[in-house]
Amino acid sequence: MRTRASILFIVLAALTLFLFMLDLSVGAVAVPLSDVWAALTGGECPRTTAKIILSIRLIKAIVALLAGAALSVSGLQMQTLFRNPLAGPYVLGISSGASLGVALFILGAPLFGLSASFASLGIAGAAWIGAAAVLIVIAAVGHRIKDIMVILILGMMFSSGVGAIVQILQYLSKEESLKAFVIWTMGSLGDITLSQLYILLPAVMMGLALAVVTIKPLNLLLFGEEYAVTMGLNIRRSRGLLFLSTTLLAGTVTAFCGPIGFIGLAMPHVTRMLFDNSDHRILIPGTVLTGASVLLLCDLVSKIFTLPVNAITALLGIPVVVWVVLRNKSVTR
Amino acid sequence: MIRLKNLSICYGSRILFDKVNTSFDNGQLTALIGRNGSGKSTLLRAIAGLNRQYSGDIILDGKDLRSLSPGGLAKSLAFVTTERTRIPNMRCVDVVAIGRAPYTNWIGRMQDIDRNIVMDAISSVGMENYAERTMDTMSDGECQRIMIARALAQDTPVMLLDEPTSFLDMPNRYELVSLLRTLAHVSGKCILFSTHELDVALRMCDSIALVDNGALHHLSVTEMVNSGHIQRLFSSPEVSFEELLWQNRK
């Protein structure tokens, strides 16, 4: 049991590192892996190569690494908290909340005569507020509603509602802000500047640190809130920490990279299956590695075929979700 | 030991319990019976600290429920709910180990003493051979035993169970309640469980608490049989309890 986990951790860490290096080497100009290594470690390689690697590709690869880890951990937290295998930042409407925040900021503000400065903190702040608002609503409503399916349905309805509002905003808004918003919704790992990375990195790191703090609460919550409380869980504090962590993780990534679907939904299942375990002491670091490596892989594929990353994550994630639904014994015969 | 002092609980505008005074002693197995919707679960949830909407006092081992921290409460009382818990990819031994949560550190690290308590809990419900299995491949009775082992691992003087026999067939029902009786008598726990099985309650328990329109009649089995409460509350033109009660008249 323990050896299986250790071997998997080593293999996944090596895989993540390899994909990270590969992600750096693939692009408009192919750079051999040896030169990538040299550029990273300060060894000898052509100066232009070093510049491409360090000042362009490295940021994007780090963003892919962080975003994959953040979205997957957030999905794991939501699946355990809501005890629903189909929960995730996207399904629950957290990403929609972030979208609404960004839409109101980019599209809505000019309508009211406010000049939206597209400063990085502004978009991120709007997405955070949007994501947090959705989580607060879910928490408030979820407390009263026993059937968690209702919350999922509400999340889907909320997403549709947000879609409608965003359409109205798009219809009313000017061309340049419309373009900025549409590009944001396509999802991209590449449009992040170094100064934006200085916000993304600490926010995701703080979210991950909080995720580590919530490991024991998550293990208790596997049994449902009532069992968790009678086993000593401070439910309000734990829920607050989980919501804060998920907002920092999914909200921030959505703010900077746009809504990236299916990674947060699918990777926790892949990790559970790989490790054959439900213990969050294994699952949290496990999803960090699987999420990071899969999003790096998606980024590689999207670079090779020059496709939007959102399309790749959906094509990879949908089979996993279908598998989860069909594996559920109550559905199949 | 559980003491209820002037306990009143409402559900909406309905008064389920009106100034109830009684106590449940250590080493005793008590069945909580009553008609559907009479408030059995509500009472158990209140004692377990899950429903704080009550007036009066609930005293656990001399301490007021309201003064206990979540961690302190978890060391005084364990609860087995009606929910059929099935966690995929989790071995029974790990399920039972979760019961040690009130005693482990922030990340749930198990010490040797915790592991010993977990193994003892598993063997006292007779599930040693299932320790490495996962619950999605087990029957309801087996899962119920594992959840009880989890409550035992919590090492509390009080244990509450909400309808632990409801998914079980007759032999399993009797085996489960006889297990609870052994646990109460041997380890001196105060065990209170709700049930709809009058025969099980009358044959196997030390005392019976009967929910009766706001009142809680807590009597020994013999007193309960002779009191006439059961006939009054449960009989209908279709059903008579005379034979069952006669058998249990000691």
Residue A282 lies in a domain: yes
pLDDT in tens, A7-30: 999 999 999 999 999 999 998 888
Residue A255 lies in a domain: yes
Closest CA to A127 of A227, A46, A196: A196
Instruction: Find the closest chain B residue to A277 by CA distance.
Output: B89
Instruction: Find the closest chain A residue to B73 by CA distance.
Output: A232
What torsion, rounded to 10 degrees, do the Cα atoms A80, A82, A83, A89 define? -60
DSSP letter, residue A308: -
d(CA A172, nearest CA chain B) in Å = 48
Residue A333 lies in a domain: no
Does the pLDDT of residue A261 top 90, yes or no? no
Instruction: Find the closest chain B residue to A282 by CA distance.
Output: B107
More confident residue, A140 or A15: A15
| Residue A226 to residue B50, Cβ atoms within 8 A | yes
Interface test with B, best of A230, A277, A327 (most B CBs within 10 A): A230
Most confident of A136-140, B11-15, B29-33, B245-249: B29-33
Q: Which residues of A touch B88 (CB under 8 A)?
A: 272, 278
Distance, first Cα to last Cα, chain B: 26
d(CA A159, nearest CA chain B) in Å = 30
Output the six-digit token pair for A103. Answer: 């839409």
ipTM associated with this complex: 0.93
Given a contact cutoff of 8 angstroms between Cβ atoms, the answer to whether A233 and A217 are in contact is yes
| Residue A219 to residue B48, Cβ atoms within 8 A | no
Q: Which residues of A touch B104 (CB under 8 A)?
A: 216
More confident residue, A179 or B242: A179
Instruction: With residue A170 as reference, give the H or E element that holds it.
Output: helix A148-172
pLDDT in tens, B148-177: 999 999 999 999 999 999 888 889 899 999
What would the mean pLDDT of A235-248 be, rounded to a whole number?
87
- Distances in whole angstroms, Cα of residue B207 to Cα of each of A326, B28, B57, B140, B222: 48, 8, 22, 26, 9
What pLDDT score does B72 carry? 94
What pLDDT score does A115 carry? 56
| Residue A278 to residue B104, Cβ atoms within 8 A | no
Strand order in the sheet with B54-60: B14-24, B2-11, B54-60, B63-64
| Residue B90 to residue A232, Cβ atoms within 8 A | no
Q: What is the largest CA-CA distance in chain A?
A: 63
| Residue B81 to residue A226, Cβ atoms within 8 A | yes
Nearest CB partner across the interface for A220, out of B79, B98, B106: B98
Residues 6+ apart with CB under 8 A from B57: B3, B4, B5, B6, B7, B64, B65, B66
- A interface with B, Cβ–Cβ below 8 Å: 213, 215-216, 219-220, 222-224, 226-227, 229-235, 272-273, 275-279, 281, 329
What would the mean pLDDT of A172-185 be, rounded to a whole number?
80
User: B80: which strand partners?
Assistant: B161
d(CA B163, nearest CA chain A) in Å = 15
| Residue A279 to residue B104, Cβ atoms within 8 A | no
pLDDT in tens, A104-115: 888 877 666 665
Output the six-digit token pair for A27. Answer: 């692009």
Sketch out chain B's domains with CATH numbers.
2-247 (3.40.50.300)
User: B217: which strand partners?
Assistant: B210
Average pLDDT in chain A: 85
Q: What percentage of chain A reaches a pLDDT higher than 90?
A: 33
Q: Which residues of B touch A221 (CB under 8 A)?
A: none
Per-residue burial over A38-71, b if 16 or more Cβ lie within 10 Å, else e, is: bbbeeeebeeebbebbeeebbbbbbbbbbbbbbb
Nearest CB partner across the interface for A278, out of B45, B90, B106: B90
Instruction: With residue A148 as reference, give the H or E element that holds it.
Output: helix A148-172
Q: Does B50 touch chain A (CB under 8 A)?
A: yes
pLDDT in tens, B88-104: 889 999 999 999 999 99
What pLDDT score does A333 carry? 44
Q: What is the pTM of this model?
A: 0.90
Supply angle C-alpha B99, B104, B105, rounded to 5: 145
| CATH number, residue A134 | 1.10.3470.10
Q: How far apart are CA A157 and CA B247, in angstroms?
A: 59
Does the pLDDT of residue A332 top 60, yes or no? no
Helix/strand/coil (H, E, C) string of chain B? CEEEEEEEEEECCEEEEEEEEEEECCCCEEEEECCCCCCHHHHHHHHCCCCCCEEEEEEECCEEHHHCCHHHHHHHEEEECCCCCCCCCCEHHHHHHHCCCCCCCCCCCCCHHHHHHHHHHHHHCCCHHHCCCEHHHCCHHHHHHHHHHHHHHCCCCEEEEECCCCCCCHHHHHHHHHHHHHHHHHHCCEEEEECCCHHHHHHHCCEEEEEECEEEEEEEHHHHHHHCHHHHHHCECCECCHHHHHHCCC
Given a contact cutoff of 8 angstroms between Cβ atoms, the answer to whether B220 and B213 are in contact is no
Does the pLDDT of residue A298 top 80, yes or no? yes
| Residue A279 to residue B73, Cβ atoms within 8 A | no
Interface test with A, best of B60, B77, B90 (most A CBs within 10 A): B90
User: A300: which strand partners?
Assistant: none
- Distances in whole angstroms, Cα of residue B142 to Cα of each of A208, B80, B95, B106: 37, 14, 13, 30
Torsions phi, psi for B208 (to 5 deg): -130, 135
| Residue B48 to residue A230, Cβ atoms within 8 A | yes
Closest CA to B156 of B106, B108, B99, B225: B99
Given a contact cutoff of 8 angstroms between Cβ atoms, the answer to whether A256 and A123 are in contact is yes
Interface test with A, best of B104, B107, B150 (most A CBs within 10 A): B107
**Residues spanned by the domain of A79:** 2-327
Given a contact cutoff of 8 angstroms between Cβ atoms, the answer to whether A172 and A103 are in contact is no
| Residue A224 to residue B81, Cβ atoms within 8 A | yes
| Residue A224 to residue B83, Cβ atoms within 8 A | yes
CA count, 13 A, side-chain hemisphere, B250:
9
Supply angle C-alpha B236, B240, B246, rounded to 5: 150
| Residue A222 to residue B90, Cβ atoms within 8 A | yes
Confidence band of A49 (pLDDT split at 50, 70, 90): confident
Does the pLDDT of residue A121 top 70, yes or no? no
Residue A104 lies in a domain: yes
Q: Which residues of B touch A220 (CB under 8 A)?
A: 98, 101
Q: How far apart are CA B18 and CA B8, in angstroms?
A: 5
Q: Which residues of B touch A235 (CB under 8 A)?
A: 70
Given a contact cutoff of 8 angstroms between Cβ atoms, the answer to whether A185 and A119 are in contact is no
The count of domains in chain A is: 1
Given a contact cutoff of 8 angstroms between Cβ atoms, the answer to whether B69 and B40 are in contact is no
Q: How far apart are CA B122 and CA B147, in angstroms?
A: 10
pLDDT in tens, B36-65: 989 999 999 999 999 999 999 999 999 999
Interface test with A, best of B89, B95, B104, B146 (most A CBs within 10 A): B89
DSSP letter, residue A44: S
Closest CA to A86 of A133, A145, A137, A153: A153
Q: Does B81 touch chain A (CB under 8 A)?
A: yes
Q: How far apart are CA B45 and CA A62, in angstroms?
A: 49
Would you give the distance in Å from CA B111 to the centre of its chain? 28
| Residue B75 to residue A231, Cβ atoms within 8 A | no
Q: Which residues of B touch A239 (CB under 8 A)?
A: none
Given a contact cutoff of 8 angstroms between Cβ atoms, the answer to whether A5 and A283 are in contact is no
What would the mean pLDDT of A74-79 be, rounded to a whole number?
93
Does the pLDDT of residue B243 top 60, yes or no? yes
Q: Does B104 touch chain A (CB under 8 A)?
A: yes
Q: What percentage of chain A reaches a pLDDT higher than 70?
A: 90
